């Protein structure tokens, strides 16, 4: 009888180890990096990229939105999103020193509040940051993206006057203006 119990426990343990290994090797929200470099400014964002998979992404909690309006969002999945600037900049009109920050958002129907926080190295970013460590918060308007984006994506675009960090998912587009000080 003891032998059958040990075999059963061993099989459960093996199944658990295989499940964990599979999720590490083939994550549903793979880690990725967005980078921008121009005129001596280097920007790097590390985040994990969740997919829409037929779900309602942004909306009211009562409607079953994956990311309800007015609630903290880590700007991705898994670990907290981090952003690094090589120079002092203005971030959506507010001055910001060069350095690395935890970046998060509070989505709304008309605007996203984007926060930068000094708390770094947070692996399981589902927990809200220590808001006392916020370096800045800005409100950025929401635009409708002309095409649907399946995977949450952060990228950069620029023109002669500014850089835009673009946050895109589903039909939502948020452009955060960045300029070098």
d(CA 96, CA 181): 9
Tell me the per-residue pLDDT of 163-181, one tens digit each, with 9 for 90 and over.
999 999 999 999 999 999 8
Query: Is residue 22 situated within a structural domain?
Result: no
The answer to whether 130 touches 119, Cβ cutoff 8 Å, is yes
pLDDT-derived band at 28 (thresholds 50, 70, 90) equals: confident
Domain residues for 72?
A: 28-180
Q: Which two tokens stand for residue 115?
A: 């926060």
Whether 1 is in a domain gets the answer no
Asked whether the beta carbons of 155 and 34 are under 8 A apart, the reply is yes
Whole-prediction pTM value?
A: 0.84
**Is residue 4 situated within a structural domain?**
no
Percent of the chain with pLDDT over 90: 76
Could you tell me if residue 59 is inside a domain?
Answer: yes
The DSSP string of the chain is -HHHHHHHHHHHHHHHHHHHHHHHHS-SS-EEEEEEEETTEEEEEEEE--B-TT---EE-GGGT-SEETTS-B-SSSSSPEEEEESS-EEETTEEE-SEEEEEEEE--SSEEEEEEES----SSTTSPP-GGGEEEEEEEEEEEEEEEEEEEEEEEEE-SS-EEEEEEEEEEEEEEEEEE-
- Name which of 17-26, 57-66, 162-171 the model is least confident about: 17-26
Record the tokens describing residue 148, joined without a space.
Answer: 């649907």
Residue 9, pLDDT score: 82
For residue 12, is it within any domain?
no
Task: For 99-136, write each residue's pLDDT tens digit.
Answer: 999 999 999 999 999 999 999 988 767 789 999 999 99
The two tokens of residue 112 are 């996203």
Specify the pLDDT at position 26: 54
Domains in the chain, number: 1
Whether residue 116 is contained in a domain is answered as: yes
Q: What is the mean pLDDT of the chain?
A: 91
Write the DSSP symbol of residue 125. Answer: T
In a domain, 17, yes or no: no
Is there a domain that residue 130 lies in? yes
């Amino acid at each position: 009888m003891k032998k059958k119990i040990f075999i059963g426990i061993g099989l459960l343990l093996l199944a658990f180890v295989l499940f964990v290994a599979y999720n590490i090797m083939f994550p549903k929200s793979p880690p990725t990096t967005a980078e921008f470099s121009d005129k001596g400014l280097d920007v790097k964002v590390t985040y994990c990229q969740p997919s829409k998979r037929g779900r309602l992404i942004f909306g009211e909690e009562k409607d079953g939105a994956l990311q309800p309006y007015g609630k903290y969002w880590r700007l991705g999945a898994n670990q907290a999103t981090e952003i690094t600037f090589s120079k002092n900049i203005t971030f959506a009109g507010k001055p910001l020193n060069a350095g690395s920050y935890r970046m998060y958002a509070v989505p709304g129907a008309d605007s996203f509040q984007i926060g930068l926080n000094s708390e770094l190295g947070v692996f399981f970013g589902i927990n809200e940051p220590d808001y006392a460590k916020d370096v800045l918060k800005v409100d950025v308007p929401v635009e409708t993206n002309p095409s649907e984006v399946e995977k949450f994506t952060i990228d950069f675009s620029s023109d002669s006057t500014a850089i835009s960090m673009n946050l895109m998912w589903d039909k939502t587009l948020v452009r955060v203006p960045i300029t070098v000080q």
